[in-house]
Amino acid sequence: MSDVAWNVVAHNNPSREMYPWVYERNIMRWAFLYPGAREQLVNWKESWAVPFLAQIRTAAAQYPDNEQLKKLVADILEGCPEAQELWDRHDFYEHPDGDIRHMRIPHGGAGEVPVRIMALAPLRNRQLRFIVAFHGV
């Protein structure tokens, strides 16, 4: 589970084993600022960076006073040269609802694994999201 600024606030043990690089961090900072993310997120720019930045833009429009979200945007745009170009596209995107993307998972063998990503939000706290990823779909 992550908050509105993609800080991981809760997880289960299977997800920690599958994605050890993300936990105790921020999902978006990892995707844009850690070199290993580009290795693991297949077709990083179009399949991951474009929709991620569009999601960040959408959240920033919904929560314009959220300081953590403002800092996230600044950190990504400062630390990732490609992000500024993509940010300037002005794309908006709520959250994945069954998107299929491909990853190279450290414990999943050498090949690419299709992953179906679904984001859910608790009815009483829309500032949290629960991400479900199904591998091998």
Over the stretch 97-122, which tens digit does the pLDDT of each residue have? Answer: 778 888 887 665 668 888 888 777 77
Q: What is the C-alpha radius of gyration for the chain, rounded to an integer number of angstroms?
A: 14
Rounded CA gap, 4 and 81, in Å? 24
Contact (Cβ atoms closer than 8 angstroms) between residue 42 and residue 104: yes
- What local confidence, expressed as pLDDT, does residue 13 receive? 73
Average model confidence (pLDDT) across the chain: 82
- What local confidence, expressed as pLDDT, does residue 81 receive? 92
- What local confidence, expressed as pLDDT, does residue 29 receive? 93
Rounded CA gap, 102 and 61, in Å? 28
Contact (Cβ atoms closer than 8 angstroms) between residue 96 and residue 48: no
Whether the pLDDT of residue 49 is over 90: the answer is: yes
Query: Within 10 Å of residue 2's Cβ, how many Cβ atoms?
Result: 20
Contact (Cβ atoms closer than 8 angstroms) between residue 115 and residue 102: yes
| pLDDT, average across residues 108-137 | 71
Distances in Å between the Cα of 20 and the Cα atoms of 64, 76, 101 are 31, 21, 19
User: 36 falls in which pLDDT band (50, 70, 90)?
Assistant: confident
